[in-house]
Amino acid sequence: MTIAISILGGLIAGSFLNVCIVRLPEEESIIRPGSHCRSCNKEIPWYHNIPLLSYAILRGRCHWCSAPISLRYPLVELTTAVLFALLAERGFPPRELCIYLAFCSALIVITFIDIRYLIIPDAISIPSILVAPGLAYVAGHLSVTDSLIGIAGGGGLLWLFAWLYEISRKQEGMGFGDVKLLAMIGGVEGWQGAFFSIFAGALAGSLVGISLLAARRGKRDTAIPFGPFLAFGAITYLLAGDEIIAWYFGFPR
């Protein structure tokens, strides 16, 4: 039952996250106007705006002008629904679960905006950093001290990496947006989560980078956004961090 509710909630939340992904980088309001086609500007009635279903029924095209609808819409809805269900299944206490659902939603928005624009919106990362210690105090999923150390440690470590990269290769490799993102992750998951995210993210990033090189899809200096990999690491930590850490330290080479 909980799983069914979380899937449904995830689909609805995902639909809203799509609005954020499209409008935040354009600095438009995420509340008004209501959903409209980005091509012909016609309003989209609710029955053409049902998560996943409408995309399938409309065959990925606007009902009025037949302009193609990005595959990103159903993809975001599906991802959100699956992550909500997986989080609900972990059996976190209610307050903690609410925080993680909101946190994952923020990470989904950040991921898709970073892929498209190579930026991480301050409108998400900065407020999240500011509220994170307060949330730790209210929900008690980690101590306020761990949250603060997570912010300083996560942000500081990535800042150091970015600075070392810059002086050694004489070019900017990582944006300051990534620094703020890891500070946000550290604020919610503590320094443990921040460290986990940076290692899991770097590992996933290298694998994808190598695959892209092998497929000759990218040059050595092609900009690959790092934000999605940090987000991947942070979500993995919530879903399976304990198991992975126990496995890693339980079976030394």
Residue 37 C-beta: closest distance to Zn ion, Å = 3
C-alpha neighbours within 13 Å on the C-beta side of residue 234: 31
Q: What's the closest the beta carbon of residue 72 comes to Zn ion, in angstroms?
A: 16
Q: How many CB atoms lie within 10 A of CB 182?
A: 33
Mark the segment that binds Zn ion (CB under 5 A) among 67-75, 136-144, 194-202, 222-230: 67-75
Task: Candidates 3, 4, 65, 210: give the one binding Zn ion (CB under 5 A).
Answer: 65
Q: Which two tokens stand for residue 241?
A: 């961090």
CA distance 174 to 54: 38
Q: Which stretch binds Zn ion (CB under 5 A): 29-37, 71-79, 110-118, 225-233?
A: 29-37
Q: Per rule CB under 5 A, is residue 62 in the interface with Zn ion?
A: yes
* Nearest distance, CB of residue 67 and Zn ion, angstroms: 5
| 43: β partners | 36
Which residues ranging from 172 to 231 are in contact with Zn ion (CB under 5 A)? none
Interface with Zn ion (CB under 5 A), residue from 3, 4, 30, 40: 40
Task: Map residues 107-126 to x or -, x wherever contact with Zn ion holds by CB under 5 A.
Answer: --------------------
Buried b (16+ CB within 10 A) or exposed e, 226-247: bbbbbbbbbbbbbbebeeeeee
The answer to whether 91 touches 20, Cβ cutoff 8 Å, is no
Nearer to Zn ion, 8 or 37 (CB): 37
When the beta carbons of 57 and 67 are compared against Zn ion, the nearer one is 67
Alpha helices in the chain, H assignment, sequence order: 2-23, 53-57, 72-89, 94-117, 122-139, 144-169, 176-214, 227-250
Q: Which residues bind Zn ion (CB under 5 A)?
A: 37, 39-40, 62, 64-65, 67
